[in-house]
Amino acid sequence: MPGENESWDSLDEWARLAATLKYIDGYATQDVEQLVRLIGAQKAGSRVIERIEQKPAEHNIGHLPTRLPTDSTRRVFLYSKENTSVGYMIRLIHQLAVQEPGGGENATVHQLESLLKGFSAVERAARRNAGRLSTANQALAEEGQR
């Protein structure tokens, strides 16, 4: 997963997390406690949370909520800003949610719409194929009963 000149062992924990997110589905959830441990702290105080919020940004990792909670049992949604599928879609949604209205959001809305149309088309095709498979399985079962 790391770049060609890097070995997995040479990466710090945040770089490993970024590489993992990038190459899996583009997102994952973790407890705040896991992020606290990742930074080498014991407790999720406000200063620790500030340090934690800087680390994902340094490694192209987005997180929701944008202001991390200090409750160590709370779940945080992490996503790769480099992932070309789900992580990218989440980044666009987040960008639209937090940006001030201006001239730049039209392109973001268009990109998000295009991605969602593609996602919806794939989802519809999967449902159609699932329906065909269940019809085929039913026909095979009926044939086996004869």
Radius of gyration of the chain (CA): 21
Tokens 């088309």 — which residue? Answer: 121
Q: Is the pLDDT of residue 46 over 80?
A: yes
> Do 79 and 93 contact (CB within 8 A), yes or no?
no
Average pLDDT of the residues in 109-125: 80
* Residue 1 clears pLDDT 60, i.e. is over it: no
Tell me which residue has tokens 């992490």.
Answer: 78
Average pLDDT taken over every residue of the chain: 79
